[in-house]
Structure 1
């Protein structure tokens, strides 16, 4: 059972939470307050279309929830909004050709190697 914090009563039993990704996709999940965050991630993977093996973090009230602790132990309340953040960068696959076309989708010579890119003031530049 969760410790009483800031005047809130401990949470126990079944509850509904709202999980939202940075992409704006959201889903309501019915969970038990004693479920671990790892278990919630597994349920969320089915609804929010990501692989259970993907590196994701869940945040509640601005703090990252710990995987091995229960929702109740981290004072998650019923009907709370939790934010899911994927921590692995997903790169686009190699350029594919359009059906019936001989041209690739990227300009010739673009981004062939990492040294072609430069980051300055938060902007990415292609060095030619």
Structure 2
């Protein structure tokens, strides 16, 4: 994780379920090494306030912050770490297409990294589809 972050990985990048690395580290914090990964991510600007998508609406509904992904016994430790690193500037949440290889191929990592999280890019194929529907 340390090397990935040093090489430019986005600390707040979300997967299709809306989970960040911090969510995953919290979920696995009961296993060796993951509490340390949680702390490392916080020290590098991971935002514990980012909510997941509602990926399990039947068994465990609702969007969740990383803290609620952890087993209840470890939540006080994670809260203490959240408080310890509260003053660390939070990294921005990257555009969802930061992990899409086709977009990266077409536009390049440096360009996609400049896109705001909610930016809607005018992809040529989207413009073509809209033009053919008129």
Q: For this structure pair, what is the TM-score category when the shorter chain's length is used for normalisation?
A: under 0.3
Q: Based on CA coordinates, which of the two structures has the bigger radius of gyration?
A: 1
Please state which structure has a larger fraction of its residues in helix: 2
Which has the larger strand fraction? 1
